[in-house]
Structure 1
Amino acid sequence: MIEEKFYEFACEFYTVEKVVQTVVLLNNGETETIRLEARFRHDTEKYDIASYKKEYFTVQPTFPQTNGKYDREQEDAETWVKYELPSVTENSADKAIERALNWLKDRCKDCH
């Protein structure tokens, strides 16, 4: 466990104890890849959830150029961006994940 007293420059500590990634079919017909992180909060000794969705984008270089052409091609990339879910506070990582999945279920259609 982290000894917070040795790191007075840091205001908050979280330990990610469990991560679940799932692909869901949203009510609008789109699919999303969702990442749920169950974090142990050292200040409250409870678990909360940080949630993200995967976003895809294209990186278009602007510089450097040689003879009016880019020195490299555009490329596809992906990243995680914050995904808003209602707040979750639980006594265990599993309970926090279950609660977040139940919030997520309200936005989704059945896949099967």
Structure 2
Amino acid sequence: MHVTHDPAAEAAATISFDDFLKVDIRVGTIIAAEPFPEARKPAFKLTIDFGPTIGVKKSSAQITEHYALETLVGRQVAAVVNFPPRQIGKMMSEVLTLGLPDADGKVVLLAPSETVPNGGRLF
């Protein structure tokens, strides 16, 4: 799942802490990465293990500028796991893998600085 954002946009409106808690952001480990030639924009299909509670989920990620397929398996990433699934091409994307824009607007994955248990929730 991918949502396009303007990195130069103004800060979002203030929300309550309860609103923040509605967004379930978890860490998972990429267990498979495949080409996604059917995507409108260059992307990879990721299979991510979020541990026993959330399980294994699929995601489409526009990360082809900074990452090669062979470097992704085993990497931990952060993702929103409580959005409804979204059809992207022929794939049903189940989670939104999170990233930040580099200086050119290309996606850099958001990940913990140290290995943590799969399924850990951001707080």
TM-score normalised by length of structure 2: 0.26
Greater fraction of residues in strand: 1
> TM-score, with normalisation over the residues of structure 1?
0.28
Larger Rg: 1
Higher RCO structure (Cα 8 Å, ≥6 apart): 2
